[in-house]
Structure 1
Amino acid sequence: MAKIQKMDGKVELNCSAEKVFETLRANQPNVSQLCSDAVPGVTLHQGDWHCAGSTFKWDLNMGGKPTYVVERTDAIDVENMKITRSIIDGELLTHYKSLKTHFQPIPKGNGKSCVMTYSLEYEKIDENAPEPHEFYNFCHGVFKKLGHQLSTHN
């Protein structure tokens, strides 16, 4: 029986935690505008952009090849700026029974920068399935680019 595993990461961003949170919570199309090389598109499938239970299709350019994921927003904690989503469709699920993402930008003292903490929680289909390092690194790169773009765009 496979077990749930977790990979945690963080990246410092030169923009406010509020800007990052609002972009990831309610303005997902802006991610594809600000990071078009990595995220060429995002479309709403069901629900609303900013509500738990909504689903989105993210077109991705991961590792130099196009792919996609369909994500469902499981929970949004506005007070703590925390979002939890589950990947429910896409090529990534060929190796995993489940794959969840957790994001939380944490403000730094000056209010103009933050630390984006994120984690992948996953269960492999079997012991031969790879660790999701490529997706983990992809997320890190997108957060870094998003932070840079948000710091240069008011």
Structure 2
Amino acid sequence: MALHGTLEAEVELKSTAENFYKIWRSEAHKMPDITSSNIQAVKVHEGDWDSHGAIKIWNYTVGGKTGVFKEKVEFDDANLTVTLHGQEGDVFDEYKVYRPVCKLIPKTQGSLAKLSIEYEKYKESDPNPDKYMAFFISMTKDIDTHASAA
């Protein structure tokens, strides 16, 4: 069993890749309203809402447990990809490295979200971040509902 790994999932979206990406890119402050069962608050710690390299602090609930996640965001506008480089927070009780990535693939109708979580565990017996992938998928579906209504 490896200490390093990547979990991957795909979610079919009704929204266009551009509309979905725009929420991550410039409307992350709306996340507590868009996906309130997952995200309770988000604030900018450094930079501003839509700047590459901004640092945000998220309050979330995963599996009925609340947590805090501090990340530095990386936007790849050309490839419609958002990478959250984990800095601090409750997830680091379980992982040395935690890096969620959302890549959007435009389709004729709707789009496809390719989700991945790159991680490094402290020891082999630590669990894979399956509960965090379920959370990421749930968030993605909520964002899609919001983006497809826009």
1:15-50 Cα distance to aligned partner (Å, 9 max, x none): 111111111112101121111121111100001212
Query: Can you give the 5+ residue segments of structure 1 that lack an aligned partner in the other structure?
Result: none
Pair 128,3 (structure 1): closer, same or farther in 2 beyond 3 Å: closer
* RMSD over equivalenced CA pairs, Å: 1.3
Letter in 2 for 1:122: Y
> In structure 2, how many angstroms separate the alpha carbons of the residues matched to 1:6 and 1:12?
20
- Where do 1:1-154 residues align within 5 Å? 3-73=3-73, 75-110=74-109, 113-152=110-149, 154=150
Report deviation, 1:134.
0.6
4+ residue runs over 6 A deviation: none
Letter in 2 for 1:17: A
> In structure 1, how many angstroms separate the alpha carbons of the residues matched to 2:75 and 2:125?
33
1:116-150 Cα distance to aligned partner (Å, 9 max, x none): 11100011111121110110110001101110122
Letter in 1 for 2:145: H
Query: Can you give the 5+ residue segments of structure 2 that lack an aligned partner in the other structure?
Result: none
Aligned length: 149
Stretch deviating more after TM superposition (48-57 or 20-29): 48-57
